Amino acid sequence: MKRIPTPKGDEPTLIIDVSPWHRVPLVFINLFLFSFSCMVAFICISFANRSLLISFVVNLEVSVLFISGLVLVISFMGFVGALRENIRFLAWYIKGICLLTVITVIFIFGALIMPFLSKNSAQSLFSIDLIVSYRDNPDYARLVDYAQASFSCCGITTERYHDWGHNIYFNCSPSNPSTERCSVPASCCRPLEGENPDLETRLKRRFCGSGVLAMTEQEAWQTIYTRSCVDACVAFMRANSLITIGVGFVAFSVLNVLRGMANTVHDEVVSLTRLYDKYYRRVAQGARKSLAQREAMEQVRAARDHLIKRHAKPGRKYSVSRMTRKASWRPPPAYDHMFGRRDSRYFGAPPRPKPSA
């Protein structure tokens, strides 16, 4: 709300606007989120071609790409809605913030539950089919290799690395003609000293796990990771649960602040829209009334000029009141209806009554 100075003697013009304390921060915050999500999405688009489902599970960049794309769309609506005071964009922005809030609550709830999840319950979430179909399904192979390399583990069930004996290419049966007989995938191998421990480097050492299933557990431990991936996953979640919950609560708080600011701006824009609509309707009504008055005044001036030209004598000055009394002229009906009275400035004072004898 601000006042615009006017010429001396006039009251200042009062202009009501949306509060900048809510609108301006909302514009810049959403501009930052939009730019950041665009950058993240551009970086994540470079992932290799593979199954979308497995890519979403295996590759963190795909999950980040999905979230950043969602944030990109929502922040764009918030930026445009706050900058242009667009009610529709602000309404959709509030709905998008609510969606992100729900996702954050689910994330926090999952982070709270996972540390208390027993190993048997976690075991039920995974299937030995991932091991059995390792060579038959490239997506399964990518998922298993990623899990084993990330969590430094080998195998899924309580049998740990011996799970690979269920795969026809790795089992130790005498009838198995495969060159990978009694072996485990390279993703189970421990990195060599000074070697980069990433997945791509391990996969280059394809036969590093050769003959492991025929070794004792102590001998196998020196070559591969012998821990189950379920145990490793549960331990990782328990170790990082507080950080995960803290990040979730920070995101939840930021989303609530943005939703409150967006609601405030939206309500102010709606209120001002209704106020200005009412104001301009009255202005339009006043303009129509003023136009009718102006037309009536034009009729009055035309009638007055005609009266003066008709009764005036050359070389003599006449007052309007005298000419009006002489012609017994009266204003047109439209004038009487508009003002409800005669105006002595144009028609002179009404004739005085004659004194009684």
**How sure is the predictor about 250, in pLDDT bands with cuts at 50, 70 and 90?**
very high
DSSP state of 313: P
Name the nearest CA neighbour of 347 among 291, 299, 313, 293.
299
How far lies 129's CA from each of 62, 134, 135, 164, 262, in Å?
A: 24, 8, 11, 11, 48
pTM exceeds 0.85 for this model: no
**232, pLDDT greater than 50:** yes
Query: Mean of the pLDDT values across residues 271-299?
Result: 83
Query: pLDDT of 318-355, one tens digit each?
Result: 555 555 444 444 555 544 444 444 444 444 445 555 55
User: Are 148 and 233 contacting, i.e. CB atoms less than 8 angstroms apart?
Assistant: no
Query: Considering the chain, what percentage of its residues have pLDDT values greater than 70?
Result: 69
pLDDT score recorded for residue 125: 59
Question: In the prediction, which pLDDT does 101 show?
Answer: 92
The mean predicted confidence, pLDDT, of the chain is 75
pLDDT digits (tens, 9 = 90+) for 121-155: 666 656 677 788 888 877 778 888 888 888 888 98
Rounded CA-CA distance 244/105 in Å is 12
Which pLDDT belongs to residue 286? 80
Helix (H/G/I), strand (E/B), else coil: 224: strand
Question: Is 154 within 8 Å of 147 (Cβ atoms)?
Answer: no
- State residue 220's pLDDT score: 86
Name the nearest CA neighbour of 19 among 9, 27, 11.
Answer: 27
**pLDDT(65) > 70:** yes
Residue percentage of the chain with pLDDT more than 90: 10
**217 vs 332, residue with greater confidence:** 217
Alpha carbon distances (Å) from 167 to 2, 107, 126, 134, 142: 77, 35, 16, 8, 16
Which pLDDT score, from 0 to 100, does residue 89 have? 93
- On the question of pLDDT at 56 being above 50, the answer is no
Q: Could you tell me where the beta strands, DSSP code E, fall in the chain?
A: 2-4, 13-15
User: What pLDDT shows up at residue 92?
Assistant: 95
CA–chain centroid gap for 214, Å, is: 56
User: 262: pLDDT confidence band, cut at 50, 70 and 90?
Assistant: very high
Q: What is the mean pLDDT of residues 214-226?
A: 86
